[in-house]
């Protein structure tokens, strides 16, 4: 019979609330770390722009800085979306608990 239908697979236990919270915190910390690194790099570019003579080299540094600012904005938006998602999940949990 097992050859035809296969054996029952053992399933991992469902994640707990603590596991979910830890995962969200870890994701938020990684986003904060990426944003911090971008801030440091932007500070270096700002110093380079200040020291560079006006011309093509300064424009190239500005272009790199603008690209970094776009990445930073993307990471900040992602962090905000994670916070909104976490709040929405919290509201769903409250509704489920109150309804039960």
Where is 42: in which H helix or E strand?
A: helix 17-51
Give residue 54's domain range: 34-87
Is residue 1, in this structure, part of any structural domain at all? no
For CA atoms 72, 75, 77, 83, the dihedral sign is: negative
pLDDT tens track, the chain, 100 positions:
667 777 777 777 776 777 777 787 788 888 899 999 999 999 999 999 999 999 999 999 999 999 999 999 999 888 887 777 777 777 777 676 665 5
Structurally, the chain folds into a number of domains equal to 1
Give CA–CA dist 39/41, Å, rounded. Answer: 5
Is residue 67, in this structure, part of any structural domain at all? yes
pTM of full prediction above 0.75: no
Contacts of range 39-46, beta carbons closer than 8 Å, 24 or more positions apart: 39/72, 41/68, 42/68, 42/69, 42/72
C-alpha pair distances (Å), 43 with each of 39, 75, 86: 6, 17, 32
């Amino acid at each position: 019979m097992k050859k035809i239908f296969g054996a029952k697979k053992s399933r991992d236990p469902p994640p707990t609330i603590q596991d979910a919270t830890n995962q969200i915190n870890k994701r938020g910390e990684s986003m904060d770390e990426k944003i911090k690194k971008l801030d440091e790099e932007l500070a270096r570019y700002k110093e380079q722009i200040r020291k560079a003579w006006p011309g093509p080299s300064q424009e190239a540094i500005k272009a790199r800085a603008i690209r970094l600012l776009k990445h930073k904005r993307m990471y900040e938006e992602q962090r905000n979306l994670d916070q909104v998602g976490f709040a929405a999940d919290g509201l769903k949990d409250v509704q489920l608990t109150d309804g039960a």
